[in-house]
Amino acid sequence: MPKMADQRTHLVLENYIGGKFVPCSRHIDSYDPSTGEVYCKVPDSDKEEIEEAVKAAKEAFPAWSSKSPAERSQILNKLADLIDAHLDEFAQAESRDQGKTVTFARTVDIPRSAYNFRFFGSSILHHTTECSQMDHMGCLNYTIRSPVGVAGLISPWNLPLYLLTWKIAPAIAVGNTAVAKPSEMTSVTAWMMCKLLDEAGVPPGVVNIVFGTGPRAGAALVSHPEVPLISFTGSTATAQRITEGSAPYCKKLSFELGGKNPAIIFQDANLQECIPNTVRSSFLNQGEVCLCTSRIFVERSIYSDFLQKFVEAAQKWKTGVPTDSSVNNGALISKEHLEKVRGYVKLAQAEGGKVLCGEGVTSLDLPERNKSGYFMLPTVITDVSDESRCMQEEIFGPVTCVVPFDSEEEVIRRANNVKYGLSAVVWSRDVGRIHRVAKKLQAGTVWTNCWLIRDLNLPFGGMKCSGIGREGAKDSYDFFTEVKTVTIKH
């Protein structure tokens, strides 16, 4: 595993195509979010690099798809072992590249990245196909599942290796080959993983990583006629462009997009559990998680009590240098994103909202070296209308709005009153109410009295503008394969 660049030299990444690292003549600056300084040069790939990667993936497809599930499973498990063996290097790199804390990368991002390979390496051994008898017609019907070909995979910057492996693992597990484009802002751990692929036994061309921007490398991948499916995690606006670019080729599409996720807190909620969990669901990873809570609806009878305790807890959610093991949040991804998130706070104030803690209210003391980093304190806003932009648009930062409600029917209507439908949280001890509300909420996942507990076997994805399709053991298997029905008359 390579050593990371020191403070005086820039790390220069290369594309990984056909089992080899290939230099690029054009590069993009990548910044350390905790300092605001350039520390890495990322390839600025275009159609030529995508063409080479697709060619390599096509050439590798016949042999890879012919391997048995058990053979592919063994390779995926070996790759997982290698990632685990380099846990600390990956965690340090992910933290420096993305701004998240080393602790979060070490305990969440990198272990989950390894587990993604183990999970799909196991699940492919247990899928079964369907069979039906039609004795009255003298026929037997059965289905066959086959890999599609070259999978185009585009992953975001908030959970870089975690979400990249969530796509690569199922794609290659079922026999596809892959051309993946990570975010140009967080490419380092993908590049590091490439150095492990050969050791794990992944044949050349099975996994190709092309670095670059969405408008250049991403657009070329999406519109390539020999890439029959695209899996994308990111913004709804980008998904719209992918849909347009892929439309002439009738590609299979899977989108996991943005969210404006509500938490609904009824008067009988256990606040001792609810408040720390809602602080976590609002601010984890600097609020840069698509599942983070950004609208908190609290029943009016407990609104004042909840708000006071919630703000006190939010003020204890520590923001600081990502290498400090005592901090909860590190830096936001970029200067531009920080300004965008700050802009929403100013907008809320202009619309009559009140900032109770965080941005513009509380000061943050940082070491001299980190004063130019992209840090922002957990920010709680009240007195905003449901129609305000802060209550309608995805902010994707450490900002949440808290508002009161009076009835169950009212809060369901208000929670659903956005274009998104990714996830929701309900806090109540009333089992009947939990089932009623969960059924009526327009969200792909509803957590009750908890948050971010996942069984990877179950479907994950969003409704409305939060996505198309689902991911999980069976759902990913269905997406990354084509089903064929065979009827035999005997």
Q: What angle do CA 287, 260, 262 make, to 5 degrees?
A: 95
Q: Where are the beta strands (DSSP E) in 200-358?
A: 207-209, 229-233, 252-256, 261-265, 293-299, 354-357
Burial, 410: exposed, middle or buried (Cβ in 10 Å; 0-12, 13-18, 19+)?
exposed
Catalytic residue among 256, 288, 299, 394: 256
Between CA 490 and CA 486 the distance in angstroms is 13
Amino acid at 19: G
Q: What angle do CA 225, 146, 462 make, to 5 degrees?
A: 70
DSSP states of 345-384 as a string? HHHHHHTT-EEEESTTTS-----GGGTTS-----EEEES-
Q: Does 290 qualify as catalytic in the annotation?
A: yes
Q: In what order do the strands lie in the sheet with 37-43?
A: 11-12, 37-43, 27-32
Q: Where are the alpha helices (DSSP H) in 86-145?
A: 87-98, 102-104, 110-123
Q: What is the 3-state secondary structure (H, E, C) of 184-199?
A: CCCCHHHHHHHHHHHH
C-alpha 348, offset from chain centre: 27
Burial, 78: exposed, middle or buried (Cβ in 10 Å; 0-12, 13-18, 19+)?
middle
Q: Which two tokens stand for residue 444?
A: 């792909």
Catalytic residue among 24, 40, 290, 465: 290
Between CA 153 and CA 167 the distance in angstroms is 7
Burial, 62: exposed, middle or buried (Cβ in 10 Å; 0-12, 13-18, 19+)?
exposed
Between CA 421 and CA 262 the distance in angstroms is 9
Amino acid at 110: I
Neighbours of 59 (CB within 10 A): 14
Of 178, 176, 164, 171, the closest CA to residue 18 belongs to 178
Neighbours of 53 (CB within 10 A): 33
Between CA 55 and CA 210 the distance in angstroms is 13
**Residues with catalytic annotation?**
256, 290
